[in-house]
């Protein structure tokens, strides 16, 4: 008898032909599939003519349901874990279940496939030997800018997920905090009909997205090149000058002057 296994299965991020043959076979043969949204996964299964039973496992019930799923695995069943699209656990539920299964000594095995972040990096033309996956930025503008400020000196390429609701706002904040000229790329609707990959400096990308309503539709991966030694030195100098000025001037004036004097992005120095 096969060893009871929790198979963590990647599903397509758009084009259904990206479901791998091994994923298809796994989803066909397991006893049940734990799915983030059983309706959406049901549609995927019916497209491939599968009728494997589904179990709902989402952010809100994961902790509670993980124990029940682990019991089924301990009783000898094999199960699959999927999310709505792409790789489970990547900005998606699943890590609590995986942790619980591993803690119980259950075999957990990946069936790799699509992941929007990796697909986007593979076509962006930005340095990709080392990168930082940031997932979704905070929704609140002040929290978002605050978070971006902590990343301004990061030398590795930054990878963000973004939705159509916030793409323009988030790009505007990226321009404000990282500066207009930081190289970046936006991958939209990958593997789908309206797939678009734009690259260029942040301010030019923002202008393109603002000018064309279609460029604000769909799902996005935004990638920003890491800080260079030059940009980092400007920022350090900007912070030094700002620290000197802010005891004598209103903080926002101090930030504006420090940015003008040193070339550091103003919002990387002071809130807003």
Query: Rule CB under 6 A: which residues touch ligand SAM?
Result: 13-14, 83, 85-87, 90-92, 115-117, 161-163, 187-192, 219-221
Q: Which residue is nearest to ligand SAM (CB)?
A: 86
CB of residue 86 to ligand SAM, shortest distance in Å: 2
Q: In whole angstroms, what is the distance from residue 69 CA to residue 97 CA? A: 8
Q: Choose among 142, 161, 129, 140: nearest CA to 226.
A: 129
User: Which distant-in-sequence residues (6+ apart) come within 8 Å of 108 by Cβ?
Assistant: 5, 6, 8, 98, 101, 102
Q: Please, which residues bridge with residue 162 across strands?
A: 220
**By C-beta, is 217 or 239 nearer to ligand SAM?**
217
CB of residue 43 to ligand SAM, shortest distance in Å: 16
**By C-beta, is 117 or 177 nearer to ligand SAM?**
117
H-only helix segments in 37-186: 38-47, 62-74, 95-103, 116-124, 141-149, 167-178
CB of residue 12 to ligand SAM, shortest distance in Å: 9
**By C-beta, is 83 or 241 nearer to ligand SAM?**
83
**By C-beta, is 87 or 225 nearer to ligand SAM?**
87
> DSSP of 161-200, one letter per residue?
EEETTTHHHHHHHHHHHH-TT-EEEEEESTTSTT-EEEEE
CB of residue 219 to ligand SAM, shortest distance in Å: 4
**By C-beta, is 30 or 114 nearer to ligand SAM?**
114
CB of residue 244 to ligand SAM, shortest distance in Å: 40
Handedness of CA 127, 132, 137, 141 (dihedral sign): negative
Angle between helix axes 251-262 and 229-245 (nearest 10 degrees) is 140
């Amino acid at each position: 008898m096969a060893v009871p296994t929790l198979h963590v299965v990647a599903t397509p991020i758009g084009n259904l032909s990206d479901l791998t043959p091994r994923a298809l076979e796994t989803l066909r043969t397991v006893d049940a599939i734990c799915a983030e949204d059983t309706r959406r996964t049901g549609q995927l299964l019916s497209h491939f003519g599968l009728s494997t039973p589904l179990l709902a496992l989402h952010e809100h019930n994961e902790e509670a349901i993980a124990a029940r799923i682990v019991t089924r695995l301990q009783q000898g069943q094999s199960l699959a874990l999927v999310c709505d699209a792409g790789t489970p656990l990547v900005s998606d539920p699943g890590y609590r279940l995986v942790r619980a299964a591993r803690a119980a000594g259950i075999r957990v095995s990946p069936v790799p496939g699509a992941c929007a972040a990796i697909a986007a990096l593979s076509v962006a033309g930005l340095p990709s030997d080392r990168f930082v996956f940031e997932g979704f930025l905070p929704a609140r503008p002040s929290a978002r800018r605050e978070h971006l400020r902590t990343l301004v000196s990061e030398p590795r390429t930054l990878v963000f997920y973004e939705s159509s609701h916030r793409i323009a706002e988030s790009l505007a904040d990226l321009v404000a905090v990282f500066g207009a000229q930081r190289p970046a790329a936006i991958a939209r609707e990958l593997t789908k009909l309206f797939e678009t990959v734009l690259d260029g400096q942040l301010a030019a990308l923002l202008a393109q997205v603002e000018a064309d309503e279609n460029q604000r539709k769909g799902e996005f991966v935004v990638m920003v090149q890491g800080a260079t030694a030059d940009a980092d030195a400007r920022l350090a100098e900007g912070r030094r000058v700002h620290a000197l000025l802010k005891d004598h001037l209103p903080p926002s004036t101090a930030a504006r002057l420090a940015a003008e004097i040193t070339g550091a992005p103003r919002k990387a120095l002071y809130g807003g």
